[in-house]
Chain A
């Protein structure tokens, strides 16, 4: 029977030839990811349920990446890191990336890719809703809660309902003013924040396959913003090259059968699309940048697992080079690797870091920072009636700090162009 890529990967993980959409199956998990917010309660449940001396099912398959509340004086946040450190030591977890050491990485979804944990054909669960990001590598990645994660820690297994798939095809050649962020915000505006609930979102088409992995990750990252169980892009030569450069593990490439069943199929021609934003307070509240052009902003924020990758900063640098920002602009690299790359990657002979500094941006240390508000002393946290243009993924009330603030989600090009003018600005004005 014909299957989608998601069905094929889940079949493999369930030791079956075929799994049908809607079926509940038990899956063998390849990697479990957790971080400082959800790790400690997950470990608590694990001990409660499996006993104080229980051992995790496979230490090498557990990846612990503290990233949420790192550079803060909040003592509860520090205690959470201590708890991660303690559990990882007790269990001998080789993939714990401790804060304050040279092993520290930064935002988990980007670090997973960089550290070679994203392997085509595998199944990843993580205690973070954006675990779907890893689907850009032709694998299944999905977010779960602490109880489910504790269950995996003890058994290596989890039940899941096989999702129906929705296909999104982007045809044509990407114009230079569009970013992956514009594509996913377009979809969100079309299908809404529950448009893909319990479903897989599969992306393909010439425009998608022309993108580097980091940009593809922006698409799969925001599958959860439509309620998707996972986002997925079949692996191609670009994926294989990336995986081989970051890991020596074997991988298996799956593709959807040409006659695989889909819940729905949508086609977009990228040449006909425009830069868009999601207006406050929902990721599906789409508007073209042109239609809201001129809206005054008080801050620009370029960071997070969605918009704090090297490719995001390369795009932003194109606009910020030789310009001054008109509003406070936070550059928050997702990971230490991205932060280092800012020092050596150049645009027209100048390092990205220099470009941002010359433009008057502040460059923060790598972590989730104000993407989710965080403790009161978090860099870039919104206050009062701030109006923020941000490359992050969520703009629910209070998400970046203040409940009264409004957040416009945008591409790195739009966030940079708007930073320069102090108003929402279409990047085509600068390109």
Chain B
């Protein structure tokens, strides 16, 4: 896996629930048919009320009109990101849109598990709410080994909480890759 993730930040507030990440009406598309998969990219974060998307200004869509992917690679948010339903379509749609990592103050458990076990995006937690200091469009650089994120636009570096127990699953690329590595796929 890469040890550096670099890209533009997309900033959101707190309690971004899975209905905002991918509204329920879109859950009907196939997650394996490539043509339909593109729709998950198109509608990623489409349930966020417009004024609350792309903070601090707001009214910046994650995915532009008519596009299937986002120019933003790193999502920055407040506490309790991904609360609500268990739909794995949520981290999946963020990945399809092009997101590589999320930096949030905290996560809801199922969303966090889904990010890690499905190997979709890396969910980083931070001690402080970086959504208050990073602006949508800032260029960020995550150093996975050092557990830091640097805002290249302002030249400030912040600490990320270490991934801890789940780092081995993240590094393997998901629970299946990890389980194969560790010989855990048996049935006894």
Interface residues of A (CB under 8 A from B): 24, 26, 37-38, 40-41, 44, 49, 57, 68-69, 74, 76-77, 79-80, 126-129, 131, 143-148, 151, 154-157, 159, 161, 193-194, 197-198, 224, 227, 229, 282, 372-376, 394, 396-399, 403
Contacts and interface: CB of A to CB of B under 8 A. Distances in A.
A49 B186 contact: no
A262 to B, nearest CB: 19
A263 to B, nearest CB: 15
Nearest to B23: A398
B86 A24 contact: no
Contacts of B107: 197
B32 A44 contact: yes
A101 B107 CA distance: 40
A340 B23 CA distance: 32
Contacts of A403: 47, 49
B187 A129 contact: no
Contacts of A397: 19-20, 47, 49
A74 B28 contact: yes
B88 interface: yes
3 tightest A-B CB contacts, nearest first: A76-B28, A145-B88, A145-B114
B68 interface: no
Interface residues of B, number: 43
A306 to B, nearest CB: 14
Contact of B19 (A57, A80, A145, A396): A396
Chain A CB within 10 Å — which of B30, B110, B174 has the most?
B110
B52 to A, nearest CB: 9
Contacts of A157: 184
20 contacts: A37-B87, A44-B32, A79-B30, A128-B85, A129-B110, A145-B113, A146-B88, A146-B114, A146-B118, A151-B175, A154-B185, A159-B175, A193-B15, A193-B83, A197-B80, A227-B80, A282-B15, A394-B17, A397-B20, A397-B47
Given A41-B88, A129-B110, A399 B19 contact: yes
Interface in B17-48: 17, 19-20, 23-25, 27-32, 47
A332 to B, nearest CB: 16
A368 to B, nearest CB: 9
A229 B83 CA distance: 12
Overall SS of chain B's interface = loop
Interface of B: 15, 17, 19-20, 23-25, 27-32, 47, 49, 79-80, 83-89, 91, 106-110, 113-114, 117-118, 165, 174-176, 179, 184-187
A143 B87 CA distance: 10
Contacts of B108: 194, 197, 227
Contacts of A374: 24-25
Contacts of B117: 145, 147-148, 151
Contact of A394 (B19, B29, B30, B186): B19
Given A197-B80, A374-B24, A399-B19, 9 more contacts: A40-B31, A77-B28, A143-B110, A154-B185, A194-B108, A227-B109, A373-B19, A394-B84, A396-B84
A80 B187 contact: no
Question: Which of B29, B85, B165 lies at the interface centre, i.e. has the most chain A CB atoms within 10 A of its CB?
Answer: B85
A2 B4 CA distance: 45
B187 A143 contact: no
Contact of B25 (A49, A151, A229, A375): A375
Contacts of A161: 165
A390 B186 CA distance: 46
Nearest to A161: B165
Contacts of B187: 57, 154-156
Nearest to A41: B31
Contacts of B15: 193-194, 282
B109 A229 contact: yes
Contacts of B23: 373, 398
A154 B86 CA distance: 20
Contact of B113 (A57, A77, A148, A398): A148
Contacts of B25: 373-376
Contacts of B47: 397-398, 403
A401 B17 CA distance: 15
